[in-house]
């Protein structure tokens, strides 16, 4: 297939962005990085929740001072940031540093909006290969991971004790379902998760999908059917509530926080809330079908360097990115973001400081990027049919086999 030139690729991808953003966003001149010449370098990130007096912004300013420049930072909502980054690339006024959600890397790379780590001599040799893979496309790496989050199973210690369940005995799907059966026999509720018809639903289903041995290129394989059958059977047997069909990861957590559920599938971002629960809790890895931890999808951002018309800016930008992703700064930043570091040595320091992170570090070590395996921008065309299949099976409108067969057909035609 003939590859589009960079301007043509940018124009093609930007059409999508133009359809998604508001008129105000398209017409705004305040986002134009052209005004950031001289000693000012622009950083765009997906953390609008962090104010100018936050630790994150303090780190950005510190790295700017170390590089001898002033950093001007803007935080955007994740979707808005993607659209603005595509438009800025098309217009030739990208920021100097772009911090983006890892699945977005392939979209920006395909659009020709990012430089590679090789081009800018960014050292990624210490990064965990499975995490780095989320920022790779066609053998090239387009950024440095700043940290990762993923999924595991939180459990209610008090409830499991009352049901006679040892969480350490849960090693595979059979032992997990047996634990849920004991919980139900004790008159309690089993497990809650998010199966909503959005990316959140696919995100939460992927550990079970991958844990069965299934691949995203074959949504209707026997392994994939077994994973969806597991979830469907849990609803039929009363181990999971019907509310999971509409649950987001937030509402699923709220169900668990009532103290009525033995387990909840959720992420590292709930660790702060877990400390506020009115009962004892613990975490275990999501088990694969036949044992061991299942690969869960990675969340988290990459620090990337967009293409600039003035190549003379790259040297300073490289200093900024290297500072932001240094071992000491990763340790501080990942604590702020509730992330597991992408470097093994820093992960060890995290666990030493907080032993509760051990399960999360182990989960991250076997996690996968959703756009990995060279799926890149094909992933969204697979994810939507997948969450649609989950919805159809859990609602009873189709069997798991029928639902996944339809999903594979849709993905193939996407």
Alpha carbons 182 and 176: distance in angstroms, whole number:
10
Q: 């595979």: which residue's tokens?
A: 172
Backbone dihedral angles phi then psi of residue 244, each to the nearest 5 degrees:
-60, -25
What is the length of the chain? 414
Segment holding 303, helix H or strand E: strand 301-304
CATH number of 6-148+299-365: 3.40.190.10
pLDDT at 38: 54
Residues of the chain scoring pLDDT < 50: 1-37
pLDDT at 210: 98
Measure CA 20 to chain center: 21
CB atoms within 10 A of CB 352: 10
Alpha carbons 56 and 145: distance in angstroms, whole number:
16
pTM metric for this prediction: 0.85
Q: What is the pLDDT of residues 212-253, one digit of tens each?
A: 999 999 999 999 999 999 999 999 999 999 999 999 999 999
pLDDT at 23: 28
Alpha carbons 45 and 28: distance in angstroms, whole number:
18
Q: What is the pLDDT of residues 158-173, one digit of tens each?
A: 999 999 999 999 999 9
Q: Would you call 97 helix, strand, or coil by DSSP? A: strand
- 363 CB contacts (<8 Å, ≥6 apart)? 150, 151, 152, 285, 286, 293, 296
Q: Where are the domains of the chain?
A: 6-148+299-365, 151-296+375-413
- 177 CB contacts (<8 Å, ≥6 apart)? 230, 233, 234, 239
> The domain 151-296+375-413 is classified under which CATH number: 3.30.1490.150, 3.40.190.10, 3.20.20.70, 3.90.420.10?
3.40.190.10
Alpha carbons 238 and 246: distance in angstroms, whole number:
17
pLDDT at 21: 32
CB atoms within 10 A of CB 185: 10
Alpha carbons 371 and 356: distance in angstroms, whole number:
29
């Amino acid at each position: 297939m003939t590859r589009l030139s960079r301007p043509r690729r940018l124009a093609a991808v930007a059409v999508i962005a133009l359809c998604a953003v508001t008129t105000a966003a398209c017409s705004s001149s305040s986002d134009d990085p052209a005004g950031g010449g001289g000693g000012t370098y622009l950083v765009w990130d997906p953390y609008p929740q962090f104010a100018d007096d936050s630790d994150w912004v303090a780190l950005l300013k510190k790295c700017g001072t170390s590089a001898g420049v002033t950093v001007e930072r803007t935080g955007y909502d994740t979707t808005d940031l993607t659209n603005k980054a595509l438009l800025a690339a098309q217009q030739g006024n990208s920021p100097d540093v772009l911090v983006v959600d890892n699945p977005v890397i392939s979209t920006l790379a395909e659009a020709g909006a990012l430089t590679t780590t090789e081009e800018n001599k960014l050292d990624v040799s210490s990064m965990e290969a499975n995490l780095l893979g989320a920022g790779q496309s066609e053998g090239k790496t387009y950024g440095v991971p700043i940290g990762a989050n993923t999924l595991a199973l939180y459990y209610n210690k008090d409830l499991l004790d009352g049901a006679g369940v040892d969480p350490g005995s849960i090693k595979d799907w059979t032992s997990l379902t047996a634990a849920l059966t004991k919980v139900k026999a004790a008159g309690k509720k089993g497990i809650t998760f998010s199966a909503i018809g959005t990316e959140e639903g696919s995100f939460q289903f992927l550990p079970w999908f991958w844990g069965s041995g299934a691949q995203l290129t074959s949504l209707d394989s026997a392994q994939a059917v077994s994973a969806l059958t597991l979830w469907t059977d849990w609803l039929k047997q009363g181990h999971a509530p019907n509310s999971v069909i509409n649950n987001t990861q937030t509402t699923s957590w709220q169900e668990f926080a009532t103290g009525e559920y033995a387990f909840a599938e959720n992420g590292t971002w709930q660790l702060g809330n877990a400390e506020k629960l009115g009962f004892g809790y613990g975490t275990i890895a999501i088990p694969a079908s036949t044992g061991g931890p299942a690969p869960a999808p990675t969340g988290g951002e990459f620090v990337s360097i967009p293409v600039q018309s003035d190549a003379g800016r790259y040297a300073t930008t490289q200093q900024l990115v290297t500072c932001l992703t240094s071992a000491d700064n990763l340790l501080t930043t990942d604590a702020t973001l509730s992330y597991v570091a992408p470097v093994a040595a820093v992960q060890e320091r995290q666990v030493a400081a907080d032993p509760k992170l051990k399960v999360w570090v182990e989960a991250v070590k076997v996690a996968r990027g959703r756009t990995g395996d060279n799926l890149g921008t094909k992933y969204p065309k697979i994810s939507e049919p997948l969450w649609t299949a989950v919805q159809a099976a859990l609602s009873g409108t189709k069997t798991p086999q029928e639902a996944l067969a339809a999903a594979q057909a849709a993905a193939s035609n996407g």
